[in-house]
Amino acid sequence: MSNNPKIIEIGGRQLHYVDQGEEGQQPIIFIHGGLDDYRCWQFQIDSFFSNKYRAISYSRRFAYPNKWIGDVAQDNTIEANAKDLVELIRKLDLAPAHLVGASYGAFITLYCASKNPELAKTMVLNEPPIMQFLAMSPIKEDVELLQRFITRIQRPNQDASKRGDFKKAAQVAIDGIMGMENYFEKLPEEGKQYLMDNAKSLESELESSMSTSFTTEYVKQITTIPTLLVKGELSPKYFLRIVDILSDNIPNSEQIVIPNVSHDDFKSGNFFTSKVMEFFASHN
């Protein structure tokens, strides 16, 4: 992947992105999750580009190395990020594009496609944190999973962020998101710094995951977009449960499980990429 990203102006902001491929090739847009930026898709960018796709990865508003404009607490919402994605697709004339979203980026992707189905050729969604699904579930265990998410991830991250201790904020979040104790501490220094590059914006994204109004009625209406739902075999149960709810409600969907990985590790290795290529090929 190119180390020299381009810049596109979206909604008065300059967003960094990489674009490998040519006009006329099928476009794929990669949308990253929290604690991430355009760099996280390097393996996929190179793989899909070499297979004659036009592969695009961008850093969302408030993600490295973009300049911050406005109030992160007010402006880093699912809805605002979805509007950015719509404008990016239209400015680069990419519609309909394959949309591949991870975590918070998968929620953005789904929200965007539910409002603008003509922009998406297919969707690939990895464990979007649609916490309202759990909050509104009639199943007691779902509500308990939501409370576990709040207790283990959102509240500790919020407390550390308010103190300005963003290393602690990243640590408690990534340990909880991955469902592994000391996950952060075991990372190499380069990996820790990568997470720290985006640690200050995570609190707002966790809050938006909790507060965004999005129900199963929205996804039931997504009938024209083939959707691949992706989950990690070792991911925390709150994420797995949300994927299962999506699977039950998106009419044109299928599901895969990435073996031996948790929430954000799905991008490593060839399994995910090969399955996504098969999925795209089946819907050309």
What domains can you pick out in the chain, each with its CATH number?
Answer: 6-131+214-282 (3.40.50.1820)
Nearest to 174 by CA among 32, 30, 36: 36
Instruction: Give the tokens for residue 95.
Output: 């519609």
One digit per residue, the tens of pLDDT, for the chain of length 284 reads: 556 899 999 989 999 999 999 989 999 999 999 999 999 999 999 999 888 999 999 999 999 999 999 999 999 999 999 999 999 999 999 999 999 999 999 999 999 999 999 999 999 999 999 999 999 999 999 999 999 999 999 999 999 999 999 999 999 999 999 999 999 999 999 999 999 999 999 999 999 999 999 999 999 999 999 999 999 999 999 999 999 999 999 999 999 999 999 998 888 778 999 999 999 999 98
pLDDT of residue 2: 54
Amino acid at 110: L
Give the pair of three-digit tokens for residue 240. Answer: 């797995």
pTM: 0.97
d(CA 274, CA 213): 34
Q: How far apart are CA 170 and CA 63, in angstroms?
A: 14
pLDDT given at position 3? 61
If we measure between CA atoms, which residue out of 149, 108, 107 comes closest to residue 238?
149
Distance, in Å, from the CA atom of 113 to the CA atom of 236, rounded to the nearest integer, reads: 26
Contact 178, 265 (CB under 8 A): yes
d(CA 194, CA 174) in angstroms, rounded, equals 12
Q: Do residues 32 and 41 make contact, with C-beta atoms less than 8 angstroms apart?
A: yes
- Looking at the DSSP bridge assignments, the partners of residue 56 are 19, 29
